[in-house]
Structure 1
Amino acid sequence: MTASIPRATYRLQLHKDFDFAAAQAILPYLQALGVSHVYCSPITRARPGSMHGYDVADPREISPELGGREGFERFALAARALGLQLLLDIVPNHMGVIASDNPWWSDVLTHGQASAYAGFFDIDWRPMDPAMAGKVLLPVLGAPYGEVLDQGQLQLAWEVKEEGEAGGFVLRYFEHGFPTDPGSWAPVLRLAADQAEDADTAEGLTALADRADAVPPREDRGAAGARERAVAAARLRQGLQDLLAQRRAAAPAITAALERLNQEPCHDTLHALLEAQPWRLGFWRVAADEINYRRFFDINELAALRVESEDVFEATHALALDLTAAGVVDGLRIDHPDGLRDPAQYFARLQDGHARRLAQLRPDAPAPADALPLYVVAEKITAAHADLPADWRLHGTTGYRFGALLNSLFSDRSQAARMERVWRGFTGAEGSLEDMVFDAKLAVAYGALGAELNLLATQLKRVAGANRRTRDYGFTTLRTAIAEAAAGMPVYRTYVVDAASEEDRRFVDWAIAQARRRTAIADTSVFDFLRACLLGEPTEGSGADALLPVRRFTWRFQQFCAPLAAKGVEDCVFYRYLQLVSLNEVGGDPTAQGLTLAAFHGASSDRAARWPHTMLATSTHDNKRSEDVRNRIAVLSERPALWRLGLMRWHQLTRSLRRELPSGTAPSRDDELLLYQVLLGVLPDGEIDAEALAALRTRVGQYMGKAAREAKLRTSWVRPDEEYEQALQAFIDGLLGRLAPNPALSDLRALARQLAWFGALNSLSMVVVKFTSPGVPDIYQGNEMQDLSLVDPDNRRPVDYAQRQGTLAAHEALLLAAEPDRLAGLARMSATPADGRLKLWATWRLLALRREDPALLCDGAYIALRGTGRAREHVVAYARRTAEGLLVVLAARLFARLLKSADAAPVGEACWGDASVDLTPAFKDWNGGAGDVTALELMGHVQRRLPRGPLRLADALQALPVAVFWVDARQPAVRA
């Protein structure tokens, strides 16, 4: 049994408005397009109304909003009937909490440490504040607790559960509901007894109050103690339910008691009741200082899981692994493994759990042929100087690195310095990227992740205090050293579990060196102590019992580094470093303008050798801008003078729209420059009416509001500056307020039309490279044609599948047409590449190749080809090869620099002149003999002859700026 390696995947974002039934309706289109796997966002039950599914409420249940188990089974059966397989996105690191939708979290809020699920969540039950011992902080209040209580916004209520389940007392705060500990109900029940109209009802309520007092305490007493408490609480609930059913006077008595309690002027009784809970409500702003459960990044509503516990792993992964073993699901995409304590252990359990279930279901089936019986990819960001750990049992990543590679490949290296000068000259930005990243990460460590930093400092202080050589390091010094080392970490995190690898040591040394260079700490010897702890090694003089506390600190520090990098880099610096924002994507480098062909070939060869089945992504649900938007913006890198002059004109033309505020001019130069880049990427190529302009105005306004808060320069999520945000929106409303007269918008649209033409050619080449490179290409929903989307939720807008189906049907007819008619149709499409038809044509043709010769693109060797001539740097050329097939790929790039204007087509002699590509390496030791070889050129679907030596680009690129030649040696003859 071996993993099913996808030929290509198609990502669908499922939610209540695009459920299993809607996805099922487009399956015939996806089959006709040619993908092998439908790649679904999380399908387990999430919080109601979730538009993404990552806020999982119950991993054991398929989302009712998507259609439930029955809807999923219909969808899966329909896919299987069409020969399509399924890939699922699963979330091992966290769950959606706060609301009452998560049964495990609700149980923890009911029973505290005595809950059977207390160990599922990464909660610090012994925080620094002694008053919080045994409690979970819930930072959900819109104002300080005392104010909210005094205003009567906290109300205790009796909640009737679903049929067959006993109710209970719940605290209400607007839409939130928090379960209460049955062991705390005695005061309410005694108050209700005082309100009862008859003695029997009063006696019954008093007896229940005595039973509440007898519920075992909440301290952790192991599994047996948890069961004992759960049984006592269940009996109390049932007893109260029975009393309500048997005694007509019980319900009015409880209602009267709740009214009296909720309306009490001083609210002392309610406050006392809340103090008795295993949770404490707090102002949302206190989260950064006091929250005591690990979160996903800084999102309070997402609590981290302790999936390193085998019980937690089994409980959270049973559904997914049952589906893979049953053959309903054929692969898994793992969200954010960097949040896990031990990703290597996690991936091993995933593969072994799948194999074990397979053996149980099919005992006669052969054992897995290798260590990877299940196709698994991980959402992992790797720096250019790092890679996936070799011991992770998976097939690769979800493709961020490949996307960043192409972003760089299609930008102009020779103009990087000029683009940087334009950006800095317009905005006044100072500092290197390294400095910006360090400062932003440090700000996040002290700010949004301050509570996590305090926990780490507390852990390290305990470690230091146990050794007489280190006990004098103070809490503040340790806290500062931790923050500075984390800010200096050059990768998302290290992976020390039992022992540090050489790579771990290299990155820790790098981080410590950065911290030493920048710190103001007087006694820098603290960094020697910290370095040892980050490597999981007790310092000299430590006791025999020091190893585990040090390792626990190491593990937690690593889990701290990942969200620090994400919040500091992708969610902050990428909105500040604005040289060329097409580079500012997850996994990217804003300074990496212009990848050399040699570097591209090196990366491709390495991928073919080590990660041949990793995903190749160019647009994802996490993108800040879709691939087509980025490909338009990238053209600016070839025309820095045009960009600089445009900035000056637009700044002058919009002077009446700016406002002077006490905090400075609005919008800021940074936001203004970002806005212009984004508009050049999203403005429609053709005509636009007032309705479409209004929709664009709304979308861009939402995007810029989010971007300004992420940048944290003039406003932020924590401290929003409403005056600045209103001024920014007013500027956008003015700029996009009307079509005419509107000189600034007219000028922007004129340049946007040029960029759209060049950008569409970039997208065409990007498609060719993606679908022929080593790896598994992924299409994000709708991006098989032009898609001009921005960051979520913009990239989750409905996709026009009717348009795509109609275009594909026209393509199918064109393929069957006579050669002259087919080439004429391609010529018409190439004249208007921004309409997306040509992009879909290339996608469809290359997916057909992957179906016809899967081995060639799944496991074929990668061979770099070199060009000669003036335009040699403008074409990416390589071959893929197996014993039975050969592919020669040519894809042009940097069109604006190549052509100088949008009037000339990037084809033929006038464009390519003397440039050629030497095919000798492609044919070396393959298919013997000499002479030309007959190949099928896939873009035009025509037979062409390939020389075994130099191929003139003017001949190869006659109709389109891309060409893909396929030689199928399985045919009787390949030589002309």
Structure 2
Amino acid sequence: MPRLRIPSSTYRLQFNREFTFAQARTIVPYLHALGISDCYASPYFQAGAESLHGYDITDHNKLNDAIGSRAEYDAWIVELHAHEMGQVLDFVPNHMGISEPQNLWWTDVLENGPSSLYAPYFDIDWQPLKSDLRDKVLIPILGDQYGRVLERGELQVHFESGRFFLRYFDREFPLSPGTYPHVLQIALEQLSENKEEEFYAELQSILTALEYLPRRTEKDPERIAERAREKEIIKRRLERRCEEAPEVQAAIEKALTIINGTPGDPRSFDSLDALLGDQAYRLAFWRVAAEEINYRRFFDVNDLAAIRMELPEVFDAAHQLLLELVGGGAVTGLRIDHPDGLYLPNEYFDKLQRRAAEALRVEPPDDLHAIYLVVEKILSGAEQLRTDWPVHGTTGYDFMNDVIGVLVDAGAERGITSAFEKFIGHALHFGHLVYAKKRLVMRLSLANDINVLGAMFDRLSEENRWYRDYTLDALTLAVRETIACFPVYRTYLAPDHPISDADRAVIQRAVAAAKRRNPALEESVFNFLRDILLFRFPENLTDEQRAEHAHFVLKFQQTTGPIMAKGLEDTAFYIYNRLAALNEVGGEPQRFGLSVEGFHQRNAERQA
């Protein structure tokens, strides 16, 4: 049975095109001489071509070719093992980079919409509040209003290898095969004098096949499989026909010249506008993202789309290479990025440890600690890491801030505070500031996240005669204010699991604070929200309704973390600068110093 490896000292290696596996191999002896027990590797699976950080993964099952080949990777691992060193890998289960067509899952979703085989993989709302976006994905990447961008000729359709795609500067978007007739009908007209030729009949046949292709809104699994199969056959037929008959290629190029329009002639873009209107996505001005985007992101980063790791097929698809590396001994530990974004973090950690045990060909230990596992969890105030998680600890933000705290002279607080307030010209209460900035974030960059929760809460109220008369505005306000008053990043309630005292206290505290700040809003609205968040559902619900209530709780939990991060770390920390050392991630600027006794106590708690 492989021995569980616990690192004694790690050294972070930031892999990218400027620091490769081959270069990492050469410094292993040096790191070993320094006393480093394990390399702590940044994400090195396939990411964006220009990525320097690796968190924008486009393929979880391929090594990043900008960093090196599999042979170069294996040589690095051999060198580590020769020096009895291990490797802790930074793994990203919450989201993927979607800015480049190398992400085949996302590209397939854009091409096929809800009928894509990968549509369930991403956290997309196909029935959003805005009806014009039904069965579409909003892509907010345009530098100006859509109409202006269109009529300047910045959106151009291209044809290559039997497929049509849209190009906007350096971005590419596939066109749905069902919309190819927008171009091919014009091409057929260009060939009207060649009706007796075989290639003309073949092009007509391709158009007929496209007409019978299952629609991109298809829900039936067999029809979805048929679409996935037939669309590729049609592309190959079209590619072959263009290779064999240059006339067809020329007719398509002429059709594209017509479709793509002429700047200065607005009506010439009508056909292109119609073509784009039939796609499974809607390109939009980047500024509309905050209020209308309909896929979950990493915080407010539009190019990082969240994936639904709670689905077994997504977990399996995203962990193939990782578990292979674990089973082969290349990866001996894992650092999990942004676990608060996961639908059910505890369930994910359990499954990861069990699958790691399978990869290592061992029975899962009773405590499920098959592999060294740490999580990027930010603990707030007195919050403790969950004892029921099969992990070995956090990535260390809490320890780092304790070290900073014990080096800060608490006796200097009054003088530094006085100097700070004199400099900015007024007193500043940190708690009030965080509350205000979280509300600001919910009004601006993450507005749609709150609108969606409000609409979900409204649907739940309609199922209860005691609460159905509350307006959407009142219910959304209750959600917004409760999140603004949340004292931690998130809670971790799960269906059919007991509620921890810590989670119960957080929810009760947040609701009570929201009530105090909003005396004009009827208390019962907050009580209704509190009861749902504590899984105290009405007794007369159907199984489907109970599942809907539970889903609201889990989506609420996924939302509070990004709002805390954006409001606290990305906003309040840049305003409240009483002592900059206290403003590290996970820090508490209002806590000025930590006693030596307190420092040792917190270390003892971590060790327990």
1:497-576 equivalences under 5 Å are: 497-498=494-495, 499=497, 500-519=499-518, 521-539=520-538, 542=541, 545-576=544-575
The answer on whether the counterparts of 1:187 and 1:209 sit within 8 Å (CA) in structure 2 is no
Residue in structure 1 matched with residue 201 of structure 2 by the alignment: 203
Residue in structure 2 matched with residue 255 of structure 1 by the alignment: 253
Distance in 2, matches of 1:384 and 1:157, equals: 55
Determine which structure has greater relative contact order: mean sequence separation of CA pairs < 8 Å that are 6+ residues apart, divided by chain length.
Answer: 2
Deviation at 1:223, TM superposition (A): 3.7
Report whether the alignment pairs 1:387 with 2:388: no
Distance in 2, matches of 1:342 and 1:388, equals: 15
Question: Which of 351, 357, 360 is the aligned partner of 2:359?
Answer: 357
Question: Which of 177, 186, 189 is the aligned partner of 2:184?
Answer: 189
Residue in structure 2 matched with residue 240 of structure 1 by the alignment: 238
The answer on whether the counterparts of 2:137 and 2:281 sit within 8 Å (CA) in structure 1 is yes
1:73-102 Cα deviation digits (max 9, x unpaired): 121112212222111111000000133121
Note closer, same or farther for the CA distance 1:396–1:367 as it changes in structure 2 (3 Å cut). closer
Report whether the alignment pairs 1:471 with 2:464: no
1:296-335 equivalences under 5 Å are: 296-335=298-337
Amino acid of the residue matched to residue 184 of structure 1? T
1:64-213 equivalences under 5 Å are: 64-160=65-161, 167-196=162-191, 198-199=194-195, 200=197, 201-213=199-211
Amino acid of the residue matched to residue 128 of structure 1? L
Residue in structure 1 matched with residue 586 of structure 2 by the alignment: 587
Distance in 2, matches of 1:48 and 1:68, equals: 15
How many residues in Structure 1 have an aligned counterpart in Structure 2? 598
TM-score (norm 1): 0.60
Residue in structure 1 matched with residue 22 of structure 2 by the alignment: 21
Residue in structure 1 matched with residue 270 of structure 2 by the alignment: 268
Deviation at 1:522, TM superposition (A): 3.1
The answer on whether the counterparts of 1:186 and 1:208 sit within 8 Å (CA) in structure 2 is no
1:584-636 Cα deviation digits (max 9, x unpaired): 01111112221111101110111121xxxxxxxxxxxxxxxxxxxxxxxxxxx
Distance in 2, matches of 1:340 and 1:394, equals: 15
Report whether the alignment pairs 1:348 with 2:350: yes
Residue in structure 2 matched with residue 62 of structure 1 by the alignment: 63
The answer on whether the counterparts of 2:188 and 2:200 sit within 8 Å (CA) in structure 1 is yes
Moved more, 5-14 or 532-541: 532-541
The answer on whether the counterparts of 2:113 and 2:280 sit within 8 Å (CA) in structure 1 is yes
Distance in 1, matches of 2:66 and 2:552, equals: 40
The answer on whether the counterparts of 2:375 and 2:394 sit within 8 Å (CA) in structure 1 is yes
Distance in 2, matches of 1:135 and 1:108, equals: 10
Distance in 2, matches of 1:157 and 1:170, equals: 5
The answer on whether the counterparts of 2:437 and 2:567 sit within 8 Å (CA) in structure 1 is yes
Report whether the alignment pairs 1:486 with 2:483: yes
Distance in 2, matches of 1:74 and 1:549, equals: 50
The answer on whether the counterparts of 1:108 and 1:118 sit within 8 Å (CA) in structure 2 is yes
Distance in 1, matches of 2:502 and 2:364, equals: 34
Query: Where does the alignment leave 5 or more consecutive residues of structure 2 unmatched?
Result: none
1:385-424 equivalences under 5 Å are: 385-424=382-421
The answer on whether the counterparts of 2:214 and 2:224 sit within 8 Å (CA) in structure 1 is no
1:531-553 Cα deviation digits (max 9, x unpaired): 11222332466556431111111
Q: Looking at CA atoms only, which structure, 1 or 2, has the larger radius of gyration?
A: 1
Distance in 2, matches of 1:520 and 1:324, equals: 55
Distance in 2, matches of 1:224 and 1:381, equals: 44
1:904-933 Cα deviation digits (max 9, x unpaired): xxxxxxxxxxxxxxxxxxxxxxxxxxxxxx
1:654-803 equivalences under 5 Å are: none
The answer on whether the counterparts of 1:154 and 1:173 sit within 8 Å (CA) in structure 2 is yes
Distance in 2, matches of 1:101 and 1:366, equals: 37
Note closer, same or farther for the CA distance 1:17–1:258 as it changes in structure 2 (3 Å cut). same
The answer on whether the counterparts of 1:532 and 1:539 sit within 8 Å (CA) in structure 2 is no
Residue in structure 1 matched with residue 428 of structure 2 by the alignment: 431
Residue in structure 1 matched with residue 215 of structure 2 by the alignment: 217
Deviation at 1:211, TM superposition (A): 1.5
Moved more, 64-73 or 172-181: 64-73
Helix, strand or coil: the match of 1:439? helix
Note closer, same or farther for the CA distance 1:540–1:522 as it changes in structure 2 (3 Å cut). farther
Distance in 2, matches of 1:350 and 1:515, equals: 37
Distance in 2, matches of 1:123 and 1:219, equals: 14
1:833-848 equivalences under 5 Å are: none
Amino acid of the residue matched to residue 237 of structure 2? G
The answer on whether the counterparts of 1:339 and 1:559 sit within 8 Å (CA) in structure 2 is yes
Deviation at 1:442, TM superposition (A): 0.8
Deviation at 1:225, TM superposition (A): 2.8
Helix, strand or coil: the match of 1:387? coil
Deviation at 1:431, TM superposition (A): 3.2
Distance in 2, matches of 1:211 and 1:586, equals: 56
The answer on whether the counterparts of 2:290 and 2:448 sit within 8 Å (CA) in structure 1 is yes
Distance in 1, matches of 2:100 and 2:536, equals: 41
Note closer, same or farther for the CA distance 1:179–1:66 as it changes in structure 2 (3 Å cut). same
Amino acid of the residue matched to residue 44 of structure 2? I
1:918-961 Cα deviation digits (max 9, x unpaired): xxxxxxxxxxxxxxxxxxxxxxxxxxxxxxxxxxxxxxxxxxxx
Helix, strand or coil: the match of 1:157? strand
Deviation at 1:429, TM superposition (A): 4.2
Distance in 2, matches of 1:146 and 1:366, equals: 60
The answer on whether the counterparts of 2:364 and 2:370 sit within 8 Å (CA) in structure 1 is no
Distance in 1, matches of 2:156 and 2:467, equals: 50
Distance in 1, matches of 2:37 and 2:299, equals: 34
Distance in 1, matches of 2:125 and 2:434, equals: 29
Note closer, same or farther for the CA distance 1:352–1:222 as it changes in structure 2 (3 Å cut). farther
Helix, strand or coil: the match of 1:65? coil
Percent pairwise identity: 40
Note closer, same or farther for the CA distance 1:232–1:591 as it changes in structure 2 (3 Å cut). same
Distance in 2, matches of 1:536 and 1:302, equals: 31
Query: Where does the alignment leave 5 or more consecutive residues of structure 1 unmatched?
Result: 161-166, 360-364, 610-976
Distance in 1, matches of 2:287 and 2:573, equals: 25
Question: Which of 373, 378, 383 is the aligned partner of 1:376?
Answer: 373
Amino acid of the residue matched to residue 23 of structure 2? A
The answer on whether the counterparts of 1:334 and 1:376 sit within 8 Å (CA) in structure 2 is yes
The answer on whether the counterparts of 2:333 and 2:371 sit within 8 Å (CA) in structure 1 is yes
Distance in 2, matches of 1:506 and 1:130, equals: 39
The answer on whether the counterparts of 2:188 and 2:203 sit within 8 Å (CA) in structure 1 is yes
Note closer, same or farther for the CA distance 1:130–1:369 as it changes in structure 2 (3 Å cut). closer
Q: CA RMSD in A?
A: 1.5
The answer on whether the counterparts of 1:139 and 1:286 sit within 8 Å (CA) in structure 2 is yes
1:146-182 Cα deviation digits (max 9, x unpaired): 111111111111134xxxxxx4111111111001110
Deviation at 1:286, TM superposition (A): 0.5
1:882-897 equivalences under 5 Å are: none
Amino acid of the residue matched to residue 37 of structure 1? D
1:445-468 Cα deviation digits (max 9, x unpaired): 121111111111111111111111
Helix, strand or coil: the match of 1:143? coil
Helix, strand or coil: the match of 2:66? helix
The answer on whether the counterparts of 1:295 and 1:303 sit within 8 Å (CA) in structure 2 is yes
Deviation at 1:357, TM superposition (A): 2.1
Distance in 2, matches of 1:217 and 1:304, equals: 25
Deviation at 1:222, TM superposition (A): 4.6
The answer on whether the counterparts of 1:533 and 1:554 sit within 8 Å (CA) in structure 2 is yes
